[in-house]
Structure 1
Amino acid sequence: MAKKDPSELSVEERLKTLYQLQTALSAIDEKRALRGELPLEVQDLEDEIEGLTTRVDKIAADIADYQRAISQKKGEIADAEASVERYKAQLNEVKNNREYDTLSKEIEFQTLEIELCNKKIREANNKIADKEQEKANSEALIAERQGDLDVKKNELEEIMEETRVEEEKLKETVKTLEAKIEGRLLTSFKRIRKNARNGLGIVYVQRDACGGCFNKIPPQRQLDIKMHKKIIVCEYCGRIMIDPELAGVKIEKPAAAADEKKRGAKRAIRKSSGTSTSSASSKKAADANDMA
């Protein structure tokens, strides 16, 4: 049998298919709701661990830079010490005060350079110690967060495993139903559903009101919905409207007879009360006449 083109479906068939699609999608939403905030918590933990790992890598790079700087300063100290030894040896061979003063200043300069390099090395070592502590704290935090992540992932996996088979079946149903719906109508439905807070793109009439936003629907519009001649949307929330009967939903009608019976009982009570009062008044009047 040839597959029916979606554009050839009647309005009634389109509405029924849309409602079936909504039912399947709502069932999927319920399955996902069972996961609660776990997916978001897992994502947050993964992002935090990634950020902490990046921080540890940055700290390690800073430590390596400080260590290279220390090695460089140690090399400069060795060069300065060699220069000092050379200048001291030259002091024994000076021929005048000018050469002596020049060599003395060079020795003093190199000595200051050595002291400055030692100071830089101490500062670098202090920074390395701070960075090592920061790195250790970050690594401990990563281990803690990784433990939390493993627990959350296991919980999420258990929940997903319980609903995986049913959810896959529902997804297949959704694909089958979507293939039956005209592309433009399906796009509109998905847009409405995306903007709807409860994920409902098509709703049925409940107690003369929209089943999505619960605003009253005029009688004429309700009649148009029951006729299934065209696709009608709620003028307040924009959701597609469907007749409950077409959707296969049984709506309990208000017990009008019971209400009327209650009202009749109230009227009878009031009437009985009024009759009793009238009888009492007549008796009082009769007693008064007898006394007269």
Structure 2
Amino acid sequence: MATQKKTADVDYSMQEKILALYELQKIDSKIDEINKVKGELPLEVQDLEDEMAGMKTRIEHINAEIEELNALTKQRKREVDQAKIQIGNYKEQQNNVRNNREFDAITKEIEYQELEIELAEKRLKEYSAAIKSKKLQLEEAEARVAERSADLDAKKSELEGIEAETAPLVEQYGAEAERAKAKIDERLLTAYDRIRRNVRNGLAVVTVKRDACGGCFNRIPPQRQVEIRQGKKIIICEYCGRILVSDPEQTEE
């Protein structure tokens, strides 16, 4: 007597669950074929979006650095202007000194302010060179963003076209998959999903063809084949770990 277990308020025999697993595999394989049409497009779109985000962050940082350099430039120019005013004041004071000591003291102050101007002007040249370099980096980054944005738009458009074209089929297959899953208990579905993730071609359920596993093509002993045809329990290929089922079409023949 076939083993029975209640699934979604309906009692399905193990054989029915195995057949449902096989149907689910066929449906998932059709969905896999649709995803193959997309190829690397989803990954390429994601990579481009990540690259764009990184480039935009870089542009923000460059703009912030330019703003900071502009602020420092203004500050240094103010310092130069203040130093020149100070020098003018000191020179006026030199005309009214009472002795050489006062004259020398004022002269030292003038020399100090002139050194401050020299240092500030040196910094201004450095800031100007840095701003020029940052602006070149900014132009390159913006050009790169424009180029990658065009690539992203093209790949997105291509991907959206494929998805729009295949959406009705994906919806249909999704509904069929849900009907098949309704006959399978959670434990079997978990095992099925795990095997699908671990095999290269996504085939977790395979039929026995010419006395061999339809996944790895290793020979299945006759007694094992009898058990598979009976469908009383889940049979796993000892070589590749896939679930083995009897091909319903061959069984009918």
**Map of 1:53 onto structure 2:** 56
**Deviation, structure 1 residue 230:** 1.0
Q: Aligned partners of 2:42, 2:203: CA distance in 1, in Å? A: 22
| Offset, 1:219 | 2.0
Greater Rg by CA: 1
Q: Secondary structure at the match of 2:26?
A: helix
> Residue 216 of structure 1 is aligned with which of 215, 219, 239?
219
Q: Which of 189, 192, 207 is equivalent to 1:204?
A: 207
Q: What does the per-residue CA deviation read over 1:227-266, in whole Å, with 9 as the maximum and x for residues that have no partner? A: 211111111111111012x3x35899xxxxxxxxxxxxxx
Which residue in 1 is equivalent to 2:182? 179
Counterpart of 1:278 in structure 2 is none
Alignment of 1:136-215 (within 5 A): 136-215=139-218
Partner of 2:81: 78
Q: Indicate whether 1:68 and 2:96 are aligned.
A: no
Structure 1 residue 55 displacement after superposition: 1.0
Q: Which has the higher contact order (CA 8 A, sep 6+)?
A: 2
Does the 8 Å contact 2:16/2:183 carry over to 1? Answer: no
Superposed CA RMSD in Å reads 1.8
Note the C-alpha offset of 1:137: 1.2
What residue in structure 2 maps to residue 289 of structure 1? none
Instruction: Measure the CA separation in 2 of the matches of 1:229 and 1:166.
Output: 33
Report the residue type matching 1:119 in the other structure. K
Structure 2 match to 1:5: 7
- 2:182 is paired with a residue whose SS is helix
- Equivalent AA in structure 1 for residue 7 of structure 2: D
**Paired residue type of 2:180:** L
Give me the whole-angstrom Cα distance separating, in 2, the residues matched to 1:188 and 1:5.
16
Residue equivalent to 2:246 = 243
- In 2: Cα distance, 1:222 partner to 1:234 partner: 11
How much does 1:71 deviate?
Answer: 0.7
**Contact 2:213/2:219 (<8 A) preserved:** yes
TM-score (normalizing by structure 2): 0.92
Post-superposition, which runs of at least 4 consecutive aligned residues in structure 1 deviate over 4 A?
A: 249-252
- TM-score norm. by structure 1 comes to 0.80
> Quick one: distance in 2 between partners of 1:221 and 1:159?
43
- Give the aligned partner of residue 25 of structure 1: 28
How far apart are 1:5 and its partner, in Å? 2.9
Percent identity between the two aligned chains: 49
Letter in 2 for 1:149: L
* In 2, Cα distance between equivalents of 1:118 and 1:216: 86
Looking at structure 1, the residues matched to 172 and 201 of structure 2 have their Cα atoms a distance apart, in angstroms, of: 22
CA distance in 1, matches of 2:64, 2:24: 55
More displaced 10-residue stretch of structure 1: 102-111 or 220-229: 220-229
Amino acid at match of 2:117: I
1:249–1:44 CA distance, 2 compared to 1 (3 A): farther
Which of 14, 18, 42 is the matching residue for 2:17? 14
CA contact (8 A) 1:206 1:251 kept: no
In the aligned structure 2, how far is the partner of 1:82 from the partner of 1:200? 84
Aligned residues: 247
Q: 1:158 to 1:190 in 2, by over 3 A?
A: same
Asked if structure 2 preserves the Cα contact closer than 8 Å seen for 1:52 and 1:142, the reply is yes
Contact residue 178 and residue 186 of structure 1 kept, 8 A:
yes
CA distance, structure 1, for counterparts of residue 143 and residue 115 of structure 2: 42
Cα pair 2:80 2:116 within 8 Å, conserved: yes
